[in-house]
Amino acid sequence: MSVLIPERILLGPGPSQVPARVLEALGRPTVGHLDPVFLRLMDGVRDKLRRLFQTENPMTLAISGTGSAGMETLFVNLLEPGDRALVGVNGVFGGRMVDVAERCGADVSRMEVPWGRVFDPEEVVRRIREERPDVVALVHAETSTGAHQPLDGIGEAAREVGALFLLDCVTSLGGAPVEVDAWGVDAAYSGTQKCLSCPPGLAPVTLSSRAVARLDRRERKVQSWYLDLTLLRSYWGQDRVYHHTAPVNMLYALDEALEIVFEEGLEARFERHRRHHVRLREGLAELGIGYVTQSGHELPMLNAVEVPEGADDAVVRRRLLDEYGIEIGAGLGAFKAKAWRIGLMGHASSERNVALVLAALERLLD
């Protein structure tokens, strides 16, 4: 290999550390994307994704692409020019949803709160009833700010006005409860590289029967051929109609990553993420480091914390990488040079990693 790849401890906002079992799965023999054995594996992946999303949705699949491809898939399939979209913006990824919705020709109404804060669900419900949009979109776990969005009553309000409720679960899926059916979510997307601890390259998505009905009522073709679910469902469904060459080995890896999730058990996995978040939070407090996220709404898998006064953001992060092999993330947007993002995602959420990053920060900030 022309570039020597070092071994890192990935404690940033993603990708997360990948278990050896998942890396080994990537190396299994490549077969054709219509091979009967591979089609059986696809069926298994779809069933496991339903369990993970806590849904009965038949249209649940893995899009070929990263989490951003999952986002774009749902918007280009569920919005047509002139549709009305109500989108929550409290960080980078809410803003990105606005951009994609506008590119679909939608009339976009923004709900905004300061970075690091969450939306009051009652205010979201009020806006839904007042504006009666076609789609309501929120970020469940805002990776740029570490904010964990409460969703009480939002799905029900969306259904009252005939709107679809779309949810970004890129950072939360596999690390905190995501209950698509119970919450009334009509379309959700995620990525493999966060709490699933699989390499980046696939985007799990799920659509309710209401969302599929909206898809079937489209008056014009989906603007993206590659992400067109009216075509992709014929490949992931019983017809197995060729659409594109699926990333075969990446689906091996996702299948193995999902096996690991269910061997641990969802409740145990969520508790592990919570426990290590609490330990990190306590250790950071001892170093005088607080959170930039609204109190009581901090994500367990993505800790957005203040850069201490007098510390050079970039210098500390670079020394962590060079001297300790630890990667943490920089702040984005409004938090640039003001925050660090410390990920404890999936396989990386461990007592050892918490101890390592706390010890390294203590030495560097002394």
CA–CA distances in Å: residue 356 to residues 17, 327, 330, 344, 361: 15, 11, 18, 12, 9
CA–CA distances in Å: residue 90 to residues 31, 39, 79, 129: 43, 40, 22, 21
Q: Are 97 and 139 in contact (CB under 8 A)?
A: yes
What pLDDT is stored for residue 237 in this prediction?
A: 87
What pLDDT is stored for residue 1 in this prediction?
A: 73
Amino acid 331 reads: G
Describe the crossing of helices 209-216 and 67-78 by its angle, rounded to 10 degrees. 60
Model confidence, pTM: 0.96
CATH number of this structure's domain 9-13+265-365: 3.90.1150.10
What pLDDT is stored for residue 181 in this prediction?
A: 98
Q: Are 89 and 95 in contact (CB under 8 A)?
A: yes
**Can you tell me the distance from the alpha carbon of 364 to that of 304, in angstroms, rounded to the nearest whole number?**
19
189 forms bridges with which residues in the sheet?
Answer: 168, 205
- In which residue ranges of the chain is pLDDT below 50? none
Q: Are 142 and 91 in contact (CB under 8 A)?
A: yes
59 forms bridges with which residues in the sheet?
Answer: 207
Amino acid 350 reads: S
For the chain, residues classed under CATH 3.90.1150.10 are 9-13+265-365
Three-state SS at 22: helix
CB atoms within 10 A of CB 219: 7
CATH topology of domain 20-262: Aspartate Aminotransferase; domain 2 (3.40.640)
**Can you tell me the distance from the alpha carbon of 95 to that of 339, in angstroms, rounded to the nearest whole number?**
19
CB atoms within 10 A of CB 326: 21
What pLDDT is stored for residue 290 in this prediction?
A: 98
**Can you tell me the distance from the alpha carbon of 318 to that of 99, in angstroms, rounded to the nearest whole number?**
32
What pLDDT is stored for residue 336 in this prediction?
A: 96
Amino acid 326 reads: I
For the chain, residues classed under CATH 3.40.640.10 are 20-262
Question: What tens digit of pLDDT does each residue of 197-223 get?
Answer: 999 999 999 999 999 999 999 999 999
Kindly state the greatest CA–CA separation across the chain. 63
**Can you tell me the distance from the alpha carbon of 166 to that of 94, in angstroms, rounded to the nearest whole number?**
12
Q: Which residues make Cβ contacts (< 8 Å) with residue 302, sequence separation at least 6?
A: 13, 141, 143, 146, 171, 341, 342, 343, 344, 345
Assigned token pair, 169 = 């679960």
Question: What tens digit of pLDDT does each residue of 325-361 get?
Answer: 999 999 999 999 999 999 999 999 999 999 999 999 9
**Can you tell me the distance from the alpha carbon of 145 to that of 90, in angstroms, rounded to the nearest whole number?**
8
